[in-house]
Amino acid sequence: MRLEEIKDPSQLKHLSLETMESLADAIRQKLILTVSKTGGHLAPNLGVVELTLALHRVFNSPVDKIVWDVGHQSYVHKMLTGRLDQMSSLRQYGGISGFPKTTESPHDAFNTGHSSTSISAALGMALARDLNNEKYEVVAVIGDGALTGGMAFEALNHAGHLGRHLIIILNDNEMSIANNVGALSSYLSRMRSDPRYYKGKEDIEQVLKRLPSIGPKVVKMAERIKDSLKYLVVPGMLFEELGFTYLGPIDGHNLHSMITVFQQAKRIKGPVLVHVLTKKGKGYAPAENNPDAFHGIGSFDISSGKARPKDGPPSYTEVFGRSLTQLAAHNPKIVGITAAMPDGTGLKYLAEEFPERFFDVGIAEQHGVTLAAGLAISGYRPVVAIYSTFLQRGFDQVLHDVCMQNLPVVFALDRAGIVGEDGETHHGVFDLAYLRSIPNLLVLAPKDELELSQMLTGALQHSGPVAIRYPRGQGKGVSLAKRYEPLSLGKCEVLEEGKDLVLLALGPVVYDAAEAAEELKGKGISCTLINARSVKPLDEETLLKVFRKCKKVLTIEEHVLAGGFGSAVREMLGRHQLNDVQVVSIGLPDTFVAHGNANLLRQKYDLCPEGIVKTVREKFYFRTAKTGFSTL
Ligand SMILES: Cc1ncc(C[n+]2csc(CCOP(=O)(O)OP(=O)(O)O)c2C)c(N)n1
């Protein structure tokens, strides 16, 4: 059977192993071809080809529920569940998502994107099944990286306690995005790499079989011996002690082993954990050799495995990472914390230069934030670099552990704003709303990479907590010569003065506002252009002075309108009872923004020069020399 003929996973049920193996080859080809064009999570998917085939062979999706943790490894699942033809639209606007979506297919049992949720969700489904007296399997597929997240432990703890039938498949490839970290990861590694575990397991089974089973005393003694020996040599004791039946470790590229063990897992009552060993990037040499680069990649050349070169200025991430490292060279108290993203956040530069002052906590944002609080209260200057979307996890820790004690922790929120193809789970468009309500915290947004460095420099001299949000992608290409001159925090920058309209923009959209101001000037409308820089505190002194002169204000932000920057401006006007100022806001509506090209999405939401001019035309009424008494 050819891959193209598979319209439903039930077609896998009676295929020979050879046919399934040839399907695995075809799937790998399709994955490489697709992702080389669309970009996406190649290495994780190459690693789960056989695992996904075996899952769909043994379980009956969509009656049986498969919950993918993070969900970045669900491409093979999508191919086998009727979406092969749509793979070319993967991650494109209007196309299929790079993550499971219940709205996309009944085979996508649960939406994911953020890590470590699968066991909780699967346990909830298993409970619902039991309450309804229904019969089906619930399977959570979780990576060793995702297993470092606290929520996964909370769920294991609860699942072991409840004892309901639930299957967890641990896809262990020893990698998170970078190398996985932590004591649990070392524990898993020992199981996979130390032949003594395998041998020990076999030996001990022989010994136990030979133990006499007569007389209660002997039985008790035998059990004691069994137990103590088990602790020494039987793999998976940790999971067994938590109440799971542990099966494994098994070779995750051997279809026969996996099919056999999954069938066995179905027969066992109660919670089962199957430990599957896979290779990230399997079957494509560049991805096998460089799995972190191929974890999530843009378009690339298949034969060389090289990403298509990007010319132009360095990214915000790079400028942040290098600036921090330079600042750390002059201040031994500076430390950096990442939650499993040393590359993505740019903290790898600090890690290279000052490994003893760099901490990768695993996918554990909450722990990372409170760890920073502990360091800060002990005299250190922690910089916690976490994507805007993932810091949502650490809200209470930011509030309760850092800000309530007014500790000098700097939060570097990368990927703030629209991120593009990763879509709704990854857009960083809620941070202003969830941060600006917290007392003591300063909330800043630079207009370009120079200001990012200067804000970081200033933030590291400030005596309380500071959050700096900045976007994904390349900077504006401005000179970085003055990068270590600290900005005075909480002040805005008036870039142009005009009398008709105030364009008040936050973040790099200031550059779009500047273009719009030029165009409006040509239409006879003179704008005051302000780079807001600080959402909390607002630079009330400057803004009130400007608003007293000009009563038409357009705020612009790459963030949801609810609770965002425009809201903050309205609150300020309300506090000062300036009721005659007309404020219109450009930002994101009350909806989850879909996946797609970031610039295309920005255009859709008027976060571009044309959108700004259009909004001015639609919402304001001007009497000018060129336009007469009319709108534009
Ligand atoms: C809360 C959260 N933090 C960070 C991430 C970014 N992230 C996506 S995948 C990943 C690594 C996952 O590793 P693992 O579960 O082992 O899966 P693998 O890619 O190795 O198959 C990370 C850190 C995320 N999705 N969610």
316-469 CATH: 3.40.50.970
CATH classification for the domain delimited by 3-289, as one of 3.40.605.10, 3.30.230.70, 3.40.50.970, 3.40.50.620: 3.40.50.970
**What pLDDT, on the 0 to 100 scale, is given for residue 28?**
98
**393 among known catalytic residues:** yes
For the chain, give every residue range classified as CATH 3.40.50.970: 3-289, 316-469
**What pLDDT, on the 0 to 100 scale, is given for residue 631?**
53
Distance (Å, whole) CA 394 – CA 386: 10
Q: Tell me: pLDDT of 627 over 60.
A: no
- Range name among 118-127, 183-192, 413-422, 614-623 with the lowest pLDDT average: 183-192
**Residue 169 beta carbon below 6 angstroms from any ligand 1 atom:** no
pLDDT greater at residue 206 or residue 163:
163
Atom of ligand 1 nearest to the CA of 145: 16
Please list the residues that pair with 428 across neighbouring strands: 417
**What pLDDT, on the 0 to 100 scale, is given for residue 628?**
53
Nearest CA to ligand 1 atom 17: 143
**353 among known catalytic residues:** no
Do 391 and 397 touch, CB atoms closer than 8 A?
no
Q: Which two tokens stand for residue 213?
A: 């089973």
493-630 CATH: 3.40.50.920
For the chain, give every residue range classified as CATH 3.40.50.920: 493-630
**Residue 546 beta carbon below 6 angstroms from any ligand 1 atom:** no
Please list the residues that pair with 382 across neighbouring strands: 335
**226 among known catalytic residues:** no
Residue type, 414: D
Report pLDDT digits (tens) over 85-114: 999 999 999 999 999 999 999 999 999 999
Distance (Å, whole) CA 631 – CA 102: 45
Mean pLDDT of 220-226: 56
Q: What percent of the chain has pLDDT over 90?
A: 87
Distance (Å, whole) CA 560 – CA 558: 7
Find the 176 Cα to ligand 1 centroid distance in Å: 6
**Ligand 1 pocket, mutate which of 177, 189, 390 (most atoms under 8 A from CB):** 177
Distance (Å, whole) CA 98 – CA 438: 34
Find the 493 Cα to ligand 1 centroid distance in Å: 38
Residue type, 473: G
Mean pLDDT of 584-597: 98
Please tell me the chain's helix, strand, coil percentages from 3-state DSSP, rounded to the nearest 5. 45, 15, 40
Q: Tell me: pLDDT of 211 over 60.
A: no
Q: Which two tokens stand for residue 629?
A: 């008494």
Distance (Å, whole) CA 229 – CA 194: 17
Query: Could you give the 3-state DSSP secondary structure of residue 433?
Result: helix
Tell me if the pTM is above 0.85: yes
Bridging pattern class, strands 271-277 and 245-251: parallel
Find the 175 Cα to ligand 1 centroid distance in Å: 9
**CA torsion through residues 424, 70, 125, 60, sign:** positive
CA dihedral 121, 122, 128, 134 (to 10 degrees): 160
Report pLDDT digits (tens) over 561-577: 999 999 999 999 999 99
**Residue 490 beta carbon below 6 angstroms from any ligand 1 atom:** no
CA dihedral 177, 183, 185, 186 (to 10 degrees): 120
Q: What angle do CA 136, 141, 143 make, to 5 degrees?
A: 165
**Residue 44 beta carbon below 6 angstroms from any ligand 1 atom:** yes
Distance (Å, whole) CA 224 – CA 222: 5
Distance (Å, whole) CA 71 – CA 110: 9
Report pLDDT digits (tens) over 111-143: 999 999 999 999 999 999 999 999 999 999 999
Task: Read off φ and ψ for residue 302, nearest 5 degrees.
Answer: -65, -45
Distance (Å, whole) CA 511 – CA 522: 17
Nearest CA to ligand 1 atom 11: 176
Diameter of the chain measured on Cα atoms: 107
